Amino acid sequence: MTTGSPYHISLFLFTVAFMALSTLGVSRLPRKWQNAAFVVAAVLGSGGVFFRYAMNCSFTDGLQLDTLLIQLLQVCNFNFVLLPLMLIPKCEIARQYSVFFSMFAACTTMFSIPSSLSGYEWHHPIVLNFWFNHVFAIALPIWMIAAKRLRPDRKYIPLVSGCVFGYFTLVYLLTEALMALGVLAPGSSFSYVHDPKGMPLLTQLYELIGLPYVHLLPVFPILIGFFYLWSMPYTGSVSFETASGSGRVGKRYSVIGGEVKLPYGGFIREGYVLIGWSDVVGGETVVYAPGASFGVSERNSVLYAVWRKLEQEPAEPVEELVEEPVIESTETAEQNDTNNQ
């Protein structure tokens, strides 16, 4: 099967239909069945690597762990083994890595079939295994997004980009070392660092630059731009208006789960105190208290400050002090005269 062949186009159209229908179905399932679908996708996506390289697409040829370990230097295979980590909420970096990069990498191979599959028919176990690996690496993040269990978080873009760059650099160094030791033949292809495998853009860059690994570097600005665009529909913001006050509170972009803590201050108004936030202009009723969690949707929201006028207590009257004359009693005066005698 080759890129652009009738079999490839048919498989691509089938994949698009499967993704659309399955995403719609998963979004409507109860939570427990969504969890089951996530597990199935993670097992099929990651298990295919073990089946193909450790078992050689057969459960009768014995276990080949050395082949499996070497194949993990290939970018897609490494992405597949990360899929089970998406099921663990605390592994946020793995989840964001998958939703930003792994899914994107898997999509590119669906558009352009690698040259390594050109000698196989569409129904060959290697081709079917390839499809299962890649389609579920795409499906799992999309299903989790549709179920509102995950969303691309813009603040992870620098970290994910650094991980991708670090991965390609490490793979290049390891591959060069294995070639020097004779473990791999010169020119072995892993993660496209030595051979673009006929992939669009990578092939043109390799022909232009002619240096392995170096030809990948121009791709990183493109990746970062893609990450940013991919996060935009899922990154709403909440901004704050003074409602007759002064000062400034900046926009708060959503975090994973779509919640931000509302500020306690940021605006001032003479004779008033900020008591909360309303979602209507001129609102006098506190809808959201300071410090409360505010759910940010995919749309931008505006909150308006709610003020309470400070009550000024009336000043207490100050009594005027009148100095009274000192009057000595007659008895005291007579005693003083006697003492003087």
Identify the domain containing residue 195 by its residue range.
6-234
Is residue 23 scored above 90 in pLDDT? yes
Show the tokens assigned to 303. Answer: 């909150």
**Which of 180, 202, 234 is the last residue before a domain boundary?**
234
Strand partners for 259: 295
Shared domain for 114 and 196, answered yes or no, is: yes
Shared domain for 46 and 185, answered yes or no, is: yes
Q: Which helix (H) or strand (E) holds 119?
A: none
pLDDT tens sequence across 214-227: 999 999 998 999 89
Is residue 266 scored above 90 in pLDDT? no
Whether residue 338 is contained in a domain is answered as no
Shared domain for 154 and 268, answered yes or no, is: no
Shared domain for 67 and 140, answered yes or no, is: yes
Whether residue 28 is contained in a domain is answered as yes
Shared domain for 284 and 211, answered yes or no, is: no
pLDDT at 163: 93
pLDDT at 258: 62
Is residue 331 scored above 60 in pLDDT? no
Show the tokens assigned to 61. Answer: 């040829």
Residue 339 — pLDDT band, cuts 50, 70, 90? low
What predicted TM-score, i.e. pTM, was given to this entire model?
0.70
Shared domain for 220 and 264, answered yes or no, is: no
Shared domain for 86 and 155, answered yes or no, is: yes
Whether residue 131 is contained in a domain is answered as yes
pLDDT at 160: 93
User: Measured between alpha carbons, how far is 147 from 86 in angstroms, rounded to an integer?
Assistant: 14
H helices then E strands: how many in the chain? 11, 8
Is residue 238 scored above 50 in pLDDT? yes
pLDDT tens sequence across 148-168: 888 888 888 999 999 999 999
pLDDT at 33: 93
The answer to whether the beta carbons of residues 68 and 50 sit under 8 Å apart is yes
Question: What percentage of the chain carries pLDDT values higher than 70?
Answer: 86
The secondary structure of residue 5, as a DSSP letter, is S
Higher-confidence residue: 151 or 187? 151
Show the tokens assigned to 163. Answer: 């991980």
Nearest to 40 by CA among 107, 125, 139, 109: 139
Give the relative orientation of helices 103-111 and 219-231 as an angle to the nearest 10 degrees: 110
How far are the Cα atoms of 130, 138, 199, 271 from residue 213, in angstroms, in the given order?
Answer: 24, 26, 15, 64
Q: What's the number of domains the chain is made of?
A: 2
Whether residue 208 is contained in a domain is answered as yes
Whether residue 334 is contained in a domain is answered as no
Nearest to 296 by CA among 250, 214, 239, 337: 239
Show the tokens assigned to 313. Answer: 């207590």
pLDDT tens sequence across 48-88: 888 888 888 777 777 888 888 888 888 888 888 888 998 88
- The sign of the CA dihedral 128, 131, 136, 139 is negative
Show the tokens assigned to 43. Answer: 């097992």
Shared domain for 219 and 137, answered yes or no, is: yes
pLDDT at 256: 46
Whether residue 323 is contained in a domain is answered as no
Q: What amino acid occupies position 138?
A: I
Shared domain for 153 and 177, answered yes or no, is: yes
Residue 299 — pLDDT band, cuts 50, 70, 90? low
**Which of 234, 259, 284 is the last residue before a domain boundary?**
234
Shared domain for 223 and 274, answered yes or no, is: no
- Highest mean pLDDT out of 114-123, 172-181, 274-283: 172-181
Higher-confidence residue: 166 or 4? 166
Nearest to 144 by CA among 47, 65, 257: 257
pLDDT at 233: 77
Higher-confidence residue: 336 or 137? 137
Nearest to 111 by CA among 6, 197, 9: 9
Q: What amino acid occupies position 101?
A: F
Shared domain for 20 and 112, answered yes or no, is: yes
pLDDT at 320: 52
Shared domain for 151 and 163, answered yes or no, is: yes
Whether residue 1 is contained in a domain is answered as no
Whether residue 51 is contained in a domain is answered as yes
User: Measured between alpha carbons, how far is 161 from 169 in angstroms, rounded to an integer?
Assistant: 12
